[in-house]
């Protein structure tokens, strides 16, 4: 059994990311996210949208990392 990745419109991708349609269109225009052209339409795989969101993850700093960073400035 094969699992087919869901294909989204630009509007659906924007809704999934909780961002504007304009932002998603900019990502496509700048080729910062993988997409597929179907005729004149643009489609994005749900896994590509999720990967783009996960790529922007920033891990929190611990208190010791904050203090060690301040010591190196002085």
Mean pLDDT of the chain: 90
Q: What is the rounded distance in angstroms from the CA atom of residue 24 to the CA atom of residue 14?
A: 6
**Does 41 reside within a domain?**
yes
**Does 66 reside within a domain?**
yes
Domain range holding 64? Answer: 7-73
pLDDT at 67: 77
* Overall average pLDDT of the 28-43 stretch: 97
**Does 35 reside within a domain?**
yes
**Does 46 reside within a domain?**
yes
In angstroms, how far is CA 73 from the centroid of its own chain?
33
Pairing of strands 7-8, 36-38: unpaired
**Domains contained in the chain, number:** 1
* Overall average pLDDT of the 16-24 stretch: 97
**Does 1 reside within a domain?**
no
Q: Tokens for 9? A: 């419109």
List the CATH number of the domain containing 65.
1.10.1660
């Amino acid at each position: 059994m094969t699992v087919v990745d869901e294909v989204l419109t630009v509007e659906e991708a924007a809704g999934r990311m909780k961002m504007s349609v304009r932002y998603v269109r900019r990502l496509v225009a700048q080729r910062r996210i993988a997409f597929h052209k179907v005729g004149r339409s643009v489609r994005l795989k749900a896994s590509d949208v999720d990967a783009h969101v996960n790529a922007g993850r920033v891990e929190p700093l611990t208190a010791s990392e904050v203090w060690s960073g301040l010591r190196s400035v002085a």
